[in-house]
Structures are given as C-alpha cells and as structure tokens.
Amino acid sequence: MSLKVAIIGSGPAGIYTAEALMRQAPGEVSVDVLERLPTPYGLVRYGVAPDHTSIKSIADYLRRVLELPGVRFLGGVELGKDVEVADLLDCYDAVVYCTGAMLDRRLGIPGENLPGSVAATDFVNWYCGHPDTPADRFVLDSPEVAVIGVGNVAVDVVRILAKTAEELRATDVPQEVLARLAGSRVKTIHMIGRRGPEHAKFTLKELRELGELANADVRVRPEESDADVTGASRQVRGNVEVLKGWAARTPAGLPRLLDVRFRMRPVEILGEDRVEALRLERTRATENGVVGTGEFETLRVGMVLRSVGYQSVPLPGVPFSETTKTVPNVAGRVRDREYVAGWLKRGPTGVIGTNKSDAAETARTLLADLAGRAPVRRADLDPLLASRGVSPVTYRQWLAIEEAEIALARTLGRGKRVKLLGLAAMLGASGR
Ligand SMILES: Cc1cc2nc3c(=O)[nH]c(=O)nc-3n(C[C@H](O)[C@H](O)[C@H](O)COP(=O)(O)OP(=O)(O)OC[C@H]3O[C@@H](n4cnc5c(N)ncnc54)[C@H](O)[C@@H]3O)c2cc1C
Ligand SMILES: NC(=O)c1ccc[n+]([C@@H]2O[C@H](COP(=O)([O-])OP(=O)(O)OC[C@H]3O[C@@H](n4cnc5c(N)ncnc54)[C@H](OP(=O)(O)O)[C@@H]3O)[C@@H](O)[C@H]2O)c1
C-alpha cells in the first residue's frame, strides 16, 4: 500500500492525524498538510494564551511530526479558495478535514451587534496576533468591561485584561498589541455566568490562577459563590471551594478588580452608537433549566466580550450539520475517501490532548477503509496550484518566519519570540 493523504488544517487535530497515519502504517503513507495560514499549529499558536508558555511548548511536539519523512507542510493554501474538494480527490487517495471551529456563537439578545460588543474569538485573535485581526482592532478605553461566559476561554480573556503589559512583556504578544495593552484604561472586569458556580466550565487550575493575579483583586458575592456540591466531581467541588475562599477575601486595593458573577444572564446590551451598558437578569435553576427571576441589574460597561463558545463553519462541498455545526461522520468517516478529525468532527470542546485520540480513531478508520484497495495513479497537486498562481509556504519558509520572530524578541529585549503582525510581514520574513 502506498497512500497519498491530504490533511486540511494544521492545528492539533491535523498534525495528530498525520502522526497517527505515519505510526499506524509506517512507510506506507505520505501526507500533505494544507493550511490556509503561512503558519502551522492552529489554536496552539492563535488561541492558547500567550502567558501559558508551557502549553504553547506543545508546538515543539507538533513540529517533530511536520519534520517526519513523508510529511509536507503547504501553508497559504485554503480549501474553498485555492483548492476544491474535487481537486483533492483527484490528487489524493484520501482527504481529512481538520479545520477546527473559527466562528463565535451568538447570544441572540438585543444590542449584540453594537460596536463594543465583540466576540472573544476576535479578542483572542487580536492578542495572539492572528493575521485576520489587525492591531488597531481594539482600543481598551473603557474603565469597565464585561466578559460573558465562565469557560476557560473567558478565563484567558479576563486574565489578559487584568494583567499589566509589563507582566506580558516576556510573552509572544505582538509589539503593537502590547503597546495597546499598556494603554488600557480597564479597571473593572465582570465575568458573568448564567448558572451557578457548580455549572461553570472552567477548570480548577485555570480558576486558581485568577486568584493569584498581581494586578487585580478578585471579588465574588458570598450568595453567588454558594452551591450544593453533594455528589459533584472533584473538579466542581474544587471550583466552588476556591470561589468561597474568594468571597471571604478582603480586597488588597490592587489597580484592577475582577468581579466574578453567577446566576446572572445577559438580556440586553444597551447603547446609542456603541455599548454603554449591559442589562442582566438574575436566574434560578429549575427542572427545565435556567429561568429568569424578574430581578434586573445594569452594569455601566463600555465593552462586552462574548465568550460563549465557538462553532465550525461549513467547508464548500463537504457535508455539514447545521444542528450540531459539525461534519457528520462515523468514527471519522464522512464519505468514501473523505474523513474528519478534531473540533470539526466533535464540536468545540476538549483540550489539545483530546484531539490525539480523536485523530487516532480517524486514522484507523481511514487505513481500514483503504486497506486492500487497488492503487490508483493520482494527479500531482503542485502543478495544479502553480497553474492557479498559488505558491505554498514551505516548512523551511515557516522556519524563516519563526527565526524572524525570535530575532525580533532579541532586538526588543523581550522573551523567546515576538509574533510578527500581518500576512505581509510574515511572508516578507519567509524569504519569498
Ligand atoms: C482561545 C482558546 C484557547 C485554548 N487554550 C487551550 C489551552 O490552553 N490548553 C488546551 O489543552 N487547549 C486549549 N484550547 C483548545 C484547543 O486549542 C483545541 O482543542 C484544538 O486547537 C482543536 O484543534 P483543531 O485542530 O480541531 O482546530 P484548530 O486548532 O482551530 O486548527 C484548525 C486549523 O485549520 C486551518 N483552517 C481553517 N480553515 C481552513 C481551510 N478552509 N483551508 C485550510 N486550512 C484551514 C486553521 O487556520 C487552523 O490552523 C483552546 C481553545 C481556544 C479557542
Ligand atoms: N487552559 C485550557 O486548558 C483551555 C483554555 C481555553 C479553552 N480551553 C478549552 O476549549 C474549549 C472551549 O472553551 P470555551 O470557553 O470557548 O467554551 P465552554 O467551555 O463551552 O464555555 C462556554 C461558556 O459560555 C456560556 N454560555 C453559552 N451560551 C451562553 C449564553 N447564551 N449566555 C450566557 N452564557 C452562555 C456557557 O454557560 P452554560 O454552561 O450555562 O452553557 C459556558 O460558561 C473547552 O473545552 C475549554 O476547556 C482550554
């Protein structure tokens, strides 16, 4: 067997799929990883918080996969723009879609489209230096902001808002973004959960970090931190214990305040030309879920960051369920010779490691399906791309971008690397 496989997307799911294929069928598979950006690693580069450097170092593991003989990285190639599904099926024995979940979920409340009401996806892209989001996208000129949602992304977002630029100086945050963070006027950050603390999605380690911030006090109302945790998991009991501890704290008078709220749901974002306030309603749990109590509160915030989860976007020519916002599949199989892995397969939940077993399952299905098939002579993708004027960013060119980022950090006297901002800067550094 000598299989040619195209993997679309170079986030953890795509790279773990490449690794699983090479491991499960050593010497029998060659893999092209096609990525719309000039840079690999998906959310490991453009999602994981810049101050979580040990998690970022997963990129060192993923890098080794891209360097395996038989694996090729082709950056700057987008499915739906530069290539279509039919092209891929002509050129490869199988295609694996691993394009993640790039879009924010919506709240569905009035005022959501006002300027100043922004998706966490956008804010995360900004501080991570994603080329889709320019440096001038955010001006942190409001003393009071609200972050809706109590998942780990919300925790990342409030932590970045609460820290000083000096605390983030040693991270890879682009220099232009760091300058804007240094000019931040944010004083109070409200993080808002619509249910009780026992239902919060954040994990204990991430929550604890918020209580140790050097630049911000943390506040929780005793009545909102209270919860019945009988029979709950260790994680939930731990979260509630930490929150109760915070409720008993005396503020140290630090420059910023992190105000953690529970059982409050957003009902309207208010403002004329931009966000001026957020209206919340207290909730209570019933057998049928959360209901409003008719008790309202208005926060005078100038920015609302909606961190209520991600969703995948359909790929042209690929089946997609509008209900689950995923590609329907059985153990990773979509249709004959088409497969899926990662967030596009199972939805936007789970840590980086979750994608490893997920990718291994897809690789197993693919190899079992194609075992014993008569070899087919496939077309070559490179001349097809060239005929369309598409010149992929090679792995070596990506390494040149990395080197430029390391050199920039040295020049600026900052940590290990500072991200280049914008496609032009990256392509310039790639030596093309
Ligand atoms: C803000 C944030 C922070 C996170 N932090 C952590 C953390 O600290 N620790 C942890 O364990 N997990 C974390 N996670 C979860 C983790 O990032 C995900 O589990 C994981 O990245 C999902 O992998 P994926 O490959 O499915 O998607 P992604 O990582 O999103 O990769 C998808 C890739 O596909 C590319 N792509 C998209 N469309 C196309 C197209 N049409 N053609 C070609 N390429 C395309 C994208 O550019 C991207 O590179 C975080 C998630 C988010 C959102
Ligand atoms: N350090 C890390 O390990 C790390 C960092 C970042 C992300 N991640 C992972 O990435 C995945 C995605 O994280 P996420 O934070 O985007 O998603 P998430 O964990 O699903 O959290 C989403 C939050 O939004 C709330 N929400 C949803 N709809 C809402 C609405 N209409 N109004 C008010 N609140 C609403 C949810 O509340 P309900 O529960 O009430 O629906 C929940 O609190 C998770 O698996 C996460 O663990 C991990």
Predicted local confidence at residue 396, as pLDDT: 97
Q: Would you say residue 1 has pLDDT above 70?
A: no
**pLDDT tens digits along 179-206:** 999 999 999 999 999 999 999 999 999 9
- Could you tell me the CA-to-CA distances from 177 to 102, 163, 420 in Å, in that order? 21, 14, 11
**Among all ligands shown, which has an atom nearest to the Cα of 108?**
2
Q: Report the percentage of the chain scoring pLDDT > 70.
A: 100
What single-letter amino acid sits at 274? R
Longest dimension (CA), the chain: 72
**Among all ligands shown, which has an atom nearest to the Cα of 39?**
1
**pLDDT tens digits along 322-364:** 999 999 999 999 999 999 999 999 999 999 999 999 999 999 9
Report whether 341 contacts 13 (CB < 8 A).
yes
Q: Would you say residue 122 has pLDDT above 60?
A: yes
**Beta carbon of 299 within 6 Å of any ligand 2 atom:** no
Distance CA 429, CA 410 (A): 16
Nearest to 175 by CA among 289, 50, 87: 50
In the reported structure, the alpha carbon of residue 143 is separated from the centroid of ligand 1 by a whole-number distance in angstroms of 31
Tokens of 128: 């991570």
Instruction: Name the residue at shortest CA distance from atom 38 of ligand 1.
Output: 99
SS3 152: helix
Task: Provide the b/e sequence for 379-389 (b: ≥16 CB within 10 Å).
Answer: eebeebbeeee
SS3 245: helix
Distance CA 279, CA 14 (A): 41
| Pocket test residue of 46, 262, 267, 308 for ligand 2, highest count of atoms within 8 A of CB | 308
Q: How confident is the model at residue 276 (pLDDT cuts 50, 70, 90)?
A: very high
Nearest to 42 by CA among 76, 10, 8, 78: 10
Where would I find the beta strands (DSSP E) of 12-87?
Answer: 29-35, 71-75
Distance CA 284, CA 299 (A): 20
Task: Check residue 26 and report its DSSP letter.
Answer: T
In the reported structure, the alpha carbon of residue 72 is separated from the centroid of ligand 1 by a whole-number distance in angstroms of 19
- For the domain made up of 3-102+312-393, give the CATH fold: Rossmann fold (3.40.50)
- Could you tell me the CA-to-CA distances from 36 to 9, 67, 97, 185, 393 in Å, in that order? 7, 19, 12, 35, 10
Tokens of 101: 């979940």
In the reported structure, the alpha carbon of residue 237 is separated from the centroid of ligand 2 by a whole-number distance in angstroms of 18
**Beta carbon of 15 within 6 Å of any ligand 2 atom:** no
**pLDDT tens digits along 205-260:** 999 999 999 999 999 999 999 999 999 999 999 999 999 999 999 999 999 999 99
**Among all ligands shown, which has an atom nearest to the Cα of 17?**
1
**pLDDT tens digits along 15-61:** 999 999 999 999 999 999 999 999 999 999 999 999 999 998 899 99
Nearest to 312 by CA among 328, 298, 297, 293: 328
Domain ranges of the chain: 3-102+312-393, 105-307
**pLDDT tens digits along 278-332:** 999 999 988 888 999 999 999 999 999 999 999 999 999 999 999 999 999 999 9
- Site of tokens 């996969």: 65
Nearest to 381 by CA among 77, 37, 80: 77
Break the chain down into helix, strand, coil percent, rounded to 5: 35, 20, 45
SS3 196: coil
**Beta carbon of 283 within 6 Å of any ligand 2 atom:** no
**Beta carbon of 111 within 6 Å of any ligand 2 atom:** no
Distance CA 112, CA 119 (A): 10
Instruction: Name the residue at shortest CA distance from atom 19 of ligand 2.
Output: 151
Task: Check residue 128 and report its DSSP letter.
Answer: T
Nearest to 12 by CA among 411, 373, 323, 345: 345
- Top-level CATH class of 105-307? alpha beta
SS3 72: strand
Instruction: Name the residue at shortest CA distance from atom 24 of ligand 2.
Output: 308
| Pocket test residue of 55, 56, 153, 192 for ligand 2, highest count of atoms within 8 A of CB | 153
Q: How many CB atoms lie within 10 A of CB 222?
A: 11
Burial (Cβ within 10 Å: 0-12, 13-18, ≥19) of residue 353: exposed
pTM for this one? Answer: 0.97
Angle at Cα 216 formed by Cα 412 and Cα 267, nearest 5°? 110
> Considering Cα of 78, then 79, then 84, then 85, what sign does the dihedral take?
positive
Nearest to 44 by CA among 91, 98, 110: 98
